[in-house]
Structure 1
């Protein structure tokens, strides 16, 4: 049967589904500082609303990755978005902070499906010579979401209370569920048989996959830990207001777009490995500078934004091609490979956010320290797990 939708329309449908799950965290970020007052709770517990979503997503990624290797991913995608919609709407009626945390855990788990199935769908939508570029483009879009969604969330906060962001997530989820119910069969079924011996453990035993997946997880995880805590720090201890966070994110978006647009061109000219390493180096160095500034008591928004430009530029350079290389290293097992990569990112973000939450009232330095440590780990992984060619024996030719 001939598809009614062209490949680019199908790609847009897949990308929109994936972005919804990512927006589940970032769209509500600006509302986090208002949650302690709304529920008569603490700032530290409000941060757990973010960590719970990331932890739920981590569980969902692993579950959907395994289900996607055994069941029709098209049906699983519909169920994933439908249950995400229910959890999002239910969250608006949460009776307490503890109830909201529990619903966020479920929301994150149900919203994880699209990120798992997207690479496999794209490999079926596009021919081999275009699929790799499309997967890289999806990675670029996914990396941009943490910068765009908080700005939209800040605008939604001006229209009402913290509940507005959850209503919007539920509405978007319902719309996508209905569209996929009508058009989901036009998405490609699995086009490649999985290797009979392929499991999560065998993929994790692949040194090349582990290198790219861990470096991507630590790089983006470090950035997300900072973004998750920035609204509370900027509006709280630094006294700069939520407007400062909007400015920070707007500038970060521009820097990321510049880096992402340069990424593939630089990789074609200088090599993928060199550009991934260069982008990671810039990212880690910028976080180190931010830590030094914060440790000396600096609170100037102009200085923070200036350093933040290089944080986002560095990730823009390495993010898309780093994600693409990790998916390719999974050697055809797209569902499990994508699940592990995104699970690593969100697991890192969840753990980092939870560890830093008790110190969030101390100012900027705990966030900067978290970002510096994680991006430093991204650098270490790239070097430590690099595959070296076999050493040539002395006296041999060739």
Structure 2
């Protein structure tokens, strides 16, 4: 493979990987405008984010078996076409209920891109290069929450919120064309693979029964709920409560993303001196304390815009350390069922995150209390699950540093 081919494949796979995160973050600055045009509230608009998270959860479990049974490209094509159609539907939505439903369909489509890109890395590149390739893909994913809201804020202000979904649809169309023209066939379909529900569910149940998996998966998922609560409620908190402009909100979101992304890189340095287990406990304790202080200050009205940004930054830094370590330790016991374990890990995390974002919408009282309360409460539950669950692990499988999982948006 020439350097030019290598670069082009990385560009296509990285763009596929970033489609989901861009779809989550790019329309956030448009929440107030969507609420006004569709005659609803920003809290109800946030349910369209929750439905997207639920769609990603379902899609991860759906596409894994399909990509093995029918090859990589056919399910990818179907998913991208579905994404383009759903994006056009979102741009023309006339009601909030319609937007919520279409965002679910859009998520199912975008999930094909993310799952297929990961599978194709394993097909296209030798094992010795896969870690480097995944690191490049994760860099793209890490940049997307910094770029997407900022781009979305300018697009929304200049052309209106429907133009965000038109932009996303065009991105999906360009990716579909690139995949048809330049992405090679990388996998021979396994026609012997059963798509019947019982064998698939039996496989997932075998993964879920592993104590190390359920301990670190559910602890990590509960900790990660704080991120989903923040993403779902940040448009209301910053634009409605603190009255920042659409563009300013995009820059604040980008700045806060640096905490999550930067700390995940610092985590690699810390692992030279500490074990993953130690870092998880320290990060969760810090996350709980930050959440409780944040909640106390918010309940009493003792915190302003600068303090809110500062505490959110610290909270996201804690997540940047706990997330890759809980992911790695969740998957460490598996060799044969690593794909199923990875899909189940992602589905559980997204489902819990969707519930957290729904909770923010249901409890909305035009203050930051629902967001901060969920952040503090789920962090406390994460620490409790970890401390109790570790007692059930007879012999923990540790993770070599080079195999540490990267953070998932």
Q: Fold-level match, TM-score > 0.5?
A: yes
Q: Is 1:274 the counterpart of 2:278 in the alignment?
A: yes
Superposed displacement of residue 366, structure 1: 0.8
Name stretches of at least 5 consecutive residues in structure 2 with no aligned partner.
Answer: 194-198, 397-409
**Inter-CA distance 160–354: structure 2 relative to 1 (3 Å threshold):** same
Q: 1:159 matched to which residue of 2?
A: 158
Match of 1:291 among 285, 290, 295: 295
CA distance in 2, matches of 1:333, 1:136: 23
Three-state SS of the structure 1 residue aligned to 2:322 is helix
CA distance in 2, matches of 1:389, 1:54: 34
TM-score (norm 1): 0.86
Q: 1:56 matched to which residue of 2?
A: 55
Aligned 8 A contact 2:43 2:233 in 1 = no
Superposed displacement of residue 4, structure 1: 8.1
Q: Is 1:371 the counterpart of 2:375 in the alignment?
A: yes
Match of 1:317 among 311, 314, 321: 321
Superposed displacement of residue 115, structure 1: 2.9
Match of 1:231 among 229, 235, 241: 235
CA distance in 2, matches of 1:251, 1:137: 21
Aligned 8 A contact 2:146 2:258 in 1 = no
Q: Is 1:253 the counterpart of 2:253 in the alignment?
A: no
**Inter-CA distance 77–11: structure 2 relative to 1 (3 Å threshold):** same
Superposed displacement of residue 190, structure 1: 8.3
Three-state SS of the structure 2 residue aligned to 1:185 is coil
Any idea what the Cα deviations from partners look like across 1:183-204, whole Å, max 9, x if unmatched? 232546689x999997222222
Aligned 8 A contact 2:284 2:382 in 1 = yes
**Inter-CA distance 220–190: structure 2 relative to 1 (3 Å threshold):** farther
CA distance in 1, matches of 2:189, 2:247: 45
Any idea what the Cα deviations from partners look like across 1:95-125, whole Å, max 9, x if unmatched? 2222212211111111112333344333334
Q: 1:264 matched to which residue of 2?
A: 268
CA distance in 2, matches of 1:116, 1:260: 22
Superposed displacement of residue 178, structure 1: 0.9
**Inter-CA distance 243–176: structure 2 relative to 1 (3 Å threshold):** closer
Instruction: State the superposition RMSD in angstroms.
Output: 3.0
Three-state SS of the structure 1 residue aligned to 2:69 is coil
Superposed displacement of residue 143, structure 1: 5.4
Superposed displacement of residue 289, structure 1: 2.0
Aligned 8 A contact 1:65 1:116 in 2 = yes
Any idea what the Cα deviations from partners look like across 1:282-320, whole Å, max 9, x if unmatched? 333322221121111134111111112211221222334
Residues matched between the structures, number? 388
Any idea what the Cα deviations from partners look like across 1:174-225, whole Å, max 9, x if unmatched? 111111112232546689x999997222222222222333233223232121
CA distance in 2, matches of 1:67, 1:218: 29
CA distance in 2, matches of 1:243, 1:196: 46
CA distance in 2, matches of 1:138, 1:277: 28
Aligned 8 A contact 2:263 2:318 in 1 = yes
Superposed displacement of residue 364, structure 1: 0.8
Three-state SS of the structure 2 residue aligned to 1:111 is helix
**Inter-CA distance 138–201: structure 2 relative to 1 (3 Å threshold):** farther
Three-state SS of the structure 1 residue aligned to 2:384 is helix
Q: 1:345 matched to which residue of 2?
A: 349
Q: 1:22 matched to which residue of 2?
A: 21
Aligned 8 A contact 1:226 1:370 in 2 = no
**Inter-CA distance 298–331: structure 2 relative to 1 (3 Å threshold):** farther
Superposed displacement of residue 229, structure 1: 0.7
Aligned 8 A contact 2:259 2:316 in 1 = yes
Superposed displacement of residue 56, structure 1: 1.9
Name stretches of at least 5 consecutive residues in structure 1 with no aligned partner.
Answer: 391-398
CA distance in 1, matches of 2:317, 2:189: 35
CA distance in 1, matches of 2:132, 2:272: 12
Q: Is 1:104 the counterpart of 2:103 in the alignment?
A: yes
CA distance in 1, matches of 2:82, 2:241: 37
CA distance in 1, matches of 2:206, 2:145: 31
Q: 2:386 matched to which residue of 1?
A: 382
**Inter-CA distance 169–124: structure 2 relative to 1 (3 Å threshold):** same
**Inter-CA distance 197–248: structure 2 relative to 1 (3 Å threshold):** closer
CA distance in 1, matches of 2:52, 2:135: 25
Q: 1:361 matched to which residue of 2?
A: 365
Superposed displacement of residue 63, structure 1: 1.4
TM-score (norm 2): 0.84
